[in-house]
Structure 1
Amino acid sequence: MALTSILVLGPTGGFGQFLVPELIRRKAEFQRIGAFTDTTRPQSAEKTKILQDYTTQGVEIVEGSYGDPAAFRGFQVVIACLGNHALKTQPAIIDTALAAGVTHFYPSEFGADLTVGDNWNERYYRDKVLTRNHLKTVAAETPRFGYTYFINGRFTEWAPIPHFGINLKTHTAHIVGRPEMEQSLLATNDAAKYLVCTLLDPPTEQERTYRFLGGNYSWTTIFSTLEKIQGVKWNVTYKSVEEARENQRKAIESGDVDAELAASHQVIQGTGRTLLPGPYDNVKFPEVKPVTLEYVWTEMLKDEARYFSLMGL
């Protein structure tokens, strides 16, 4: 049976803003679409406007807290589109969803494959690992409960940001790794399209994993593409994994969690573990045609001020 009663957590966030509109575009194929708003956190005027727009297009706004089963009741599946700050809450959210009768869960798994190399032990993925372990425990105890891992490498729009050592404003980059190293990217809008396709693909097992690829791009290709779009020469330097590890150690000593996470992710990138291994599931949904790196970045940089604001740059 397809998953057609959907509650989206983080509907106004980076990925939620793409996923909910795609659900709306295909709303005739769904029984219920809900956008969850956390009443324990203040809502900005911008996010309130987004929620109002959803309402006019037939989306149900669900207010509550992550610990309140009443807010989750009546939904078949919960999709967590959460930022890094909220990833640690996922095990508790899963318990709330289960108590409300939810039968399927999409964790905020978006990103690299945790099973590649030593990703499982990296600080950056700690909360995702805890969530995976909890999902396995819950599924073993509850045969009616299932979950889906959606893995896509990196979102293309988020790839050229300071977190990964790239500064679009100054056209400089300090990259952990080597010029020829590749990473897997997928446009956020294409990820949303693929995710909706997976909802309509009836689960046959408690655990399932989808891998979707837009393209594998080397740093050489990434920066030549940016130079072509922006019309300026980039200054790019490369540093060792050991340097990133040292930065991570210093961040731990100083208690700077954001710097610790960034350094951990740069270690992952510098050891080639942001490259998503196949086979990929694109072929299962040929109706989705992934756009190219150049297309995505050309479109987003047509309005640099808006893009920088969206990315918090």
Structure 2
Amino acid sequence: MGLSYRIALAGATGNLGTPMLEALLGAGYLVTVLSRIGGNSSRLKPHPNITSKEVDFTSVESLTTALSGVQVVVSCLATLAIGSQNPLIDASVAAKVKRFIPAEFGMDSKNALSMELPVCAPKVATQNYLLEKSVSNPGFTYTGIANGLFLDWCIAAGIIVNPKNRSATLYNGGDVPFTATTLRDVAKAVLGVISHQEDTVNRIVYVQSALVTQRKLIQYAQEADGKEWDVVVKSTEEVKQESFRELAKGSEGDIDAAMLGFCILASWTPEYGCDFSSHLDNELLGVKEMSETELSTLIGSYL
């Protein structure tokens, strides 16, 4: 593949899009960066293999023109925009794109309970739409990537644990094993999908950098500096009720907080499939799990 192969990336300046762009360029691909008109494309560092195109993400015509010559589309659109990928999908079909990787990144959207969550429903709808388009256009295929929580980003944001303040909300006691993946490893998984398209056709692939628990991460931190942590225990059932209450308020509710709550529910409740370890595609996609030393070093870097 390499330099004759062109990848289109939507959302290149976001939390995941930034390391994704770096990985694609590092692998030698030509990259068409799709950004909304008046967006953040000016923040991108100049690179000979980057072509920036401003598009109207609601216009199939605008997107189709921008996707000329593209083989793979990677969507890293923001969480609350994931329900609006259909124009990009339609444009990909029209432009004869071979593989579409949607903004799936996160929980197990094939788990029956997760599928019912408001934060996951748009992902399920997108998968169904992609499959429908693939059936009617045999040259067009898709792959979704499930990676659990973003390990490094969620630690930095204080969601998994908060090393900076040495505090944590321990969901369901803090001993629930959950899948988490660094942003860099998610990008590596995308590279793996691009180079293993036959093995990943029209399905969700599962990856993780580590299967961890909140208490284990706190233990690594305490081994590093010996300081006590301030922790509270909270049930994910309580988080679920809070999130639905916020949604019920409509425009007056905190939608972002509600969606984060649903992610927390799916990430620390075993019934929602938060442990991917029995069905991983790490080996196929070239994602290596972190050692205890690497995990300890990661958590220590945020103290």
Which whole-Å deviations, capped at 9, do the CAs of 1:222-241 have from their partners, x for residues lacking one? Answer: 22123344653211121123
Task: Give structure 2 stretches of 5+ with no counterpart.
Answer: none
1:264 aligned to 2:262? yes
Q: What is the distance in 2 between the residues matched to 1:250 and 1:303?
A: 33
Q: What is the distance in 2 between the residues matched to 1:293 and 1:12?
A: 31
Structure 1 residue corresponding to 2:96, chosen from 94, 98, 101: 101
TM value normalised by structure 2: 0.85
- Opposite residue 268 of structure 2, the aligned amino acid is G
Distance 1:91 1:296, change over 3 A: farther
- Opposite residue 275 of structure 1, the aligned amino acid is D
Q: What is the distance in 2 between the residues matched to 1:191 and 1:205?
A: 15
The answer to whether the 8 Å contact 1:107/1:148 transfers is yes
Distance 1:265 1:205, change over 3 A: closer
Q: What is the distance in 2 between the residues matched to 1:106 and 1:140?
A: 16
1:223 aligned to 2:218? yes
Pairwise CA distance, 1:9: 0.8
SS in 2 for 1:115: coil
Pairwise CA distance, 1:302: 4.4
Pairwise CA distance, 1:97: 2.0
- Opposite residue 254 of structure 2, the aligned amino acid is D
- Opposite residue 280 of structure 1, the aligned amino acid is L
The equivalent residue for 2:280 is 280
Aligned positions of 1:166-177 closer than 5 A: 166-177=161-172
Q: What is the distance in 2 between the residues matched to 1:303 and 1:160?
A: 8
1:295 aligned to 2:294? yes
Q: What is the distance in 2 between the residues matched to 1:150 and 1:263?
A: 21
Structure 1 residue corresponding to 2:50, chosen from 50, 59, 62: 59
Aligned positions of 1:1-313 closer than 5 A: 4-27=5-28, 30=29, 32-39=30-37, 41-43=38-40, 48-49=42-43, 51=44, 53=45, 55-66=46-57, 67=59, 68=62, 69-160=64-155, 164=159, 166-203=161-198, 206-229=201-224, 232-254=227-249, 255-272=253-270, 273=272, 274-285=274-285, 288-292=287-291, 295=294, 298=297, 302=301
Q: What is the distance in 2 between the residues matched to 1:277 and 1:290?
A: 11
SS in 1 for 2:198: coil
Pairwise CA distance, 1:159: 2.7
The answer to whether the 8 Å contact 2:32/2:51 transfers is yes
Task: Give structure 1 stretches of 5+ with no counterpart.
Answer: 305-313
- Opposite residue 279 of structure 1, the aligned amino acid is H
Pairwise CA distance, 1:295: 3.2
Pairwise CA distance, 1:165: 6.4
The answer to whether the 8 Å contact 2:211/2:277 transfers is no
